[in-house]
Structure 1
Amino acid sequence: MPYDLVIRAGRVITATHELTADVAIEGEKIAAIGHGLSGRRTLDADGLYVLPGAVDGHVHLSLHTAYGRTADDFYQGTLAAAYGGVTSIVDFVDPRPDQPLLAALAERRGEAEGRVVIDYGLHMTLTGPMIAARPAWREEVPLAREAGCYSFKLYTAYPGYYLPDDALLQALEAVAAVDGLAVVHAENWPVIQTLTRRFVAAGQVEPRWHPASRPAITEGEAVHRVLALARLTGARVLIFHISCAEAVHALGMARARGQIAFGETCPHYLVLDDAAYLRPLPEALRFLCQPPIRGQVEQEALWRAVAGRGLDVISTDHCPHPDEQKQAGAANFTRTAGGISGIETRLALMHTFGVRRGQISRTRWVELCCTAPARLFGLRGKGELLPGADADIVLFDPTRQVTLSQAALHSAIPYSQYEGIQVSGYPVATISRGDVIVDQGQFIGQPGRGRFCVR
């Protein structure tokens, strides 16, 4: 009896194995992997890689900030993701200080439903102002966990989010009590504020001063401090967007003590370097992000950590601010909205700069971008090519040459930080729960077909 769809004769690559085989799909699930499988429909994958759908556990779609809203809503952002071989994302719920967590979750899901084209989950954010304003927040954490928010975002930076150490301790205790995962933005905010004020007072307001205002030690110290408090509370922690060797070292020390702790980095830290801040205006401002993009020495250290399993996942921290929000800092870099757009380019960039350059193997590439994120973020049935798993699959042409450009990408912003970079290898088809939603450069899915994942 034929299957609904058979992907024929591709090079199947998982986090542990490679083989040439057929992959059969029945309904929304992978039904079989083997040879000579027959389907009512077939896709010829000869010469292509067959990968699990990529999982991006760190994106900011339709994010409301003091600068305004990010450019990609849940439709545009997940459309771009699908073109890039991403079949699941995890975004954020940012409750107002006076807002119950479940009300904020419902509001955020309302923004996504009817628009997402791939499956999605949500991290729940716990902020300093919330902890100060609403004692009931602690009783709401188990309710958010039951509603599907397995992970909780904590910040040691930014007005409106910053958790001083006493509040950070309380937040980690609450996450540990529900056996959740704390995902943490770790930088030393008071020190960064002090350094930034000094640069501004000295008239050093050009983009090139941005990385100096947030030096690697302010990240490494904060990572060490977060992990120390996590050790005290027993919380499991993922440190987001690690950009420097000092943070990697702090993470390694915690693991050596037996802590359950993980690390994430992003393509912009592995591909770009701080020379971007020396570019002329307005271009240089487009590269401002937190933590900043650092120099080549730090980049090389990150690649060693990625290859040596000192880091666990690669996410994008996709935060596509419109150009007017970026250019708000034309006279003073501190007024620029920080963020990098990368939801569509991760698989291709990591294949080009990781696999093709011998930094990582093909199986490690799949582990970092597909399998480990699914497991770490609690996305059951995702990130694997196994019978019974969701039929989230990418066909990737390893020989396709693409020059990245804003015109060819699908984010709503009118620029790309990767403009002009040539990649070797690119997705040519994306399948989400058995539906072919992108094929040969054409989107053939439907807005709203994506589902909320209870993680």
Structure 2
Amino acid sequence: MEDDGLLIAGGTVVTAGGSFPADVLCREGRIAALLSPGESRPAVEVLDASGCYVLPGGVDVHVHLQMPVGDIVSTDDFASGTIAAACGGTTTVVDFATQERGQTLEEAVAQRRAEADGKVAVDYSLHLAVTDTSERTLRVLPRLVEEGYASFKLYTVYPALYLEDEEILRLLEVARETGAMPLVHCENRAIVERCTRTLLLAGKREPRYHPQARPAEAEAEAVRRMLALAGVAGTPLGIAHLSTRAALGEVCRARTRGQEVWVETCPHYLLLTEAEYERPGFEGAKYVLTPPLRKESDREALWTALIGGGIDWISTDHCPWNYRGQKERGREDLALIPNGAPGIETRLMLLWSEGVTRGRISPERFVALTATQPARLFGLYPRKGAIAPGADADLVVWDPARRVTLRAETLHQQVDYCPYEGWEVVGGPREVFLRGRPVVREGRFVGAPGQGEFVPRYSLMVGR
């Protein structure tokens, strides 16, 4: 099949703004036209999407592929992780070029591009994870934004990554000056370090103590402080993986003051709670991620915000570690359990099943949360996250009746467990297209590593 002659016919197109019956004509990797059902146009292939929705390919702007921590590396590399993304209906991911202490940002970008280019099975981009405010860093940031790296990841915690408030304020000012989007991991470092040290000294080293090591107050305080700094800098603020009702309260108060703040959460905070840490033996280690899973009241508050528009997009924070040999390193010390869990393949299926199928959100809201809004906020729209003439033909034929039982052995994520093992989800991708080319057929990967491209991001479409 040529890549310039695909007609997806008979389906219901779903965008963030509405749903309607239409046939989608794709040529030369882009959407050429939306046609009235049955309107005749020549095409090399006509795909029957009757009974299905046609969605824009998912956009996951928070993944950690091939991420080194000490002497271990997260289990999905850029090939396996993006194959898993495609099989779940995601056609664009944004990873991180993380500046190690003493490394230049240019070196971090070059290293990450070398690891990903020629290997990715879907399109990708990179955030700049900045760890210093040296004169060189501040000088090169505007140029990197102009080259298509239009977002900064900033950390308030982790010895190798955290920035002091003064440094964060300066980087927020650079974000304002360049139009880049700052995305902040919000936890109070002093609280986390003190709580962790106290637990370890008391001999409380098991996974069940993970929420106590990183309490809700650590997130809420850091969110409040970052909002204050962003207010002084006069820049919008993106908050990564928000997990608590208390932090939501800080966001609501800031928005009432007129502050522009954008909020991400993840499926695991919507679907799981800290009860997972009470699993027998060391099984709770599978759910050690940062921030931790929270209380049922936090989970309910996140759903309320999601339904009401208070949460802006859903990412995975995909960072998989094998239970055997990696998570198990922390059997004697909670602090040694590598933080993170898999999710790049299951994001869309879980949110559709628990959100749309159960009547909590509409298909249009689903598309906004998983594709259109992250594409808008991070400079990918309208090339990505849209079904409109001129957009990339990244499309998912979504079968709302498809039933899948999630099992680690049948998923494409290269990790030895699934946090949702045995869950049955209703609704899933039947076919997936990347720039008009098939990558998934009847749920089976038919693409190839290396077919994805780097996507530069220049202008950010923000403004509530």
Q: TM-score, normalised by structure 2?
A: 0.95
- Equivalence for 2:142: 142
Q: Give 3-state SS (helix, strand or coil) of 2:231's partner.
A: helix
**Aligned match for 1:50, one of 39, 51, 54:** 54
Q: Work out the CA distance in 2 between the residues paired with 1:104 and 1:192.
A: 27
Q: Give 3-state SS (helix, strand or coil) of 1:123's partner.
A: strand
Q: Give 3-state SS (helix, strand or coil) of 1:251's partner.
A: helix
- Equivalence for 1:303: 303
Q: Work out the CA distance in 1 between the residues paired with 2:179 and 2:15.
A: 28
Q: Give 3-state SS (helix, strand or coil) of 1:195's partner.
A: helix
1:281-314 CA-partner distances (Å, limit 9, x unpaired)? 3321010011101111100000011111111000
Aligned-residue offset at 1:326: 1.0
Q: Give 3-state SS (helix, strand or coil) of 1:438's partner.
A: strand
Q: Work out the CA distance in 2 between the residues paired with 1:336 and 1:291.
A: 14
Q: Does the 8 Å contact 2:176/2:235 carry over to 1?
A: yes
1:317-349 CA-partner distances (Å, limit 9, x unpaired)? 000112222111112221100102100001110
Q: Does the 8 Å contact 2:100/2:160 carry over to 1?
A: no
- Identity fraction in percent: 45
What pairs up with 1:23-62 in 2 under 5 angstroms? 23-34=24-35, 35-36=37-38, 37-38=40-41, 39-62=43-66
Q: Give 3-state SS (helix, strand or coil) of 2:368's partner.
A: helix
- Equivalence for 1:167: 167
Q: Work out the CA distance in 1 between the residues paired with 2:232 and 2:71.
A: 36
Q: Give 3-state SS (helix, strand or coil) of 1:212's partner.
A: helix
Q: Give 3-state SS (helix, strand or coil) of 1:136's partner.
A: helix
Residue ranges of structure 2 left out of the alignment (5+ in a row): 458-464
- Equivalence for 1:383: 385
Question: What CA RMSD, in Å, does the superposition of the two structures yield over aligned residues?
Answer: 1.3
* Distance verdict in 2 for CA 1:210–1:67, change over 3 Å: farther
Q: TM-score, normalised by structure 1?
A: 0.97
Q: Does the 8 Å contact 2:207/2:282 carry over to 1?
A: no
What pairs up with 1:225-236 in 2 under 5 angstroms? 225-236=225-236
Residue ranges of structure 1 left out of the alignment (5+ in a row): none
- Equivalence for 1:288: 288
Q: Does the 8 Å contact 1:55/1:374 carry over to 2?
A: yes
Paired positions, count: 450
- Equivalence for 2:426: 424
2:12 is equivalent to residue 8 of structure 1: no
Q: Does the 8 Å contact 1:90/1:120 carry over to 2?
A: yes
Aligned-residue offset at 1:67: 5.0
Aligned-residue offset at 1:446: 2.1
- Equivalence for 1:343: 344
- Larger mean Cα displacement after TM superposition, 17-26 or 83-92: 17-26
Q: Does the 8 Å contact 2:206/2:282 carry over to 1?
A: no
1:169-224 CA-partner distances (Å, limit 9, x unpaired)? 22222222211110000000111110111111111111111111211111011001
- Equivalence for 2:449: 447
- Larger mean Cα displacement after TM superposition, 280-289 or 49-58: 280-289
The code of the aligned residue for 1:274 comes to E
- Equivalence for 1:108: 112
1:268-292 CA-partner distances (Å, limit 9, x unpaired)? 0011111110002332101001110
Q: Work out the CA distance in 2 between the residues paired with 1:192 and 1:140.
A: 32
Aligned-residue offset at 1:103: 2.3
1:427-447 CA-partner distances (Å, limit 9, x unpaired)? 111100010111113222122
Q: Does the 8 Å contact 1:154/1:184 carry over to 2?
A: yes
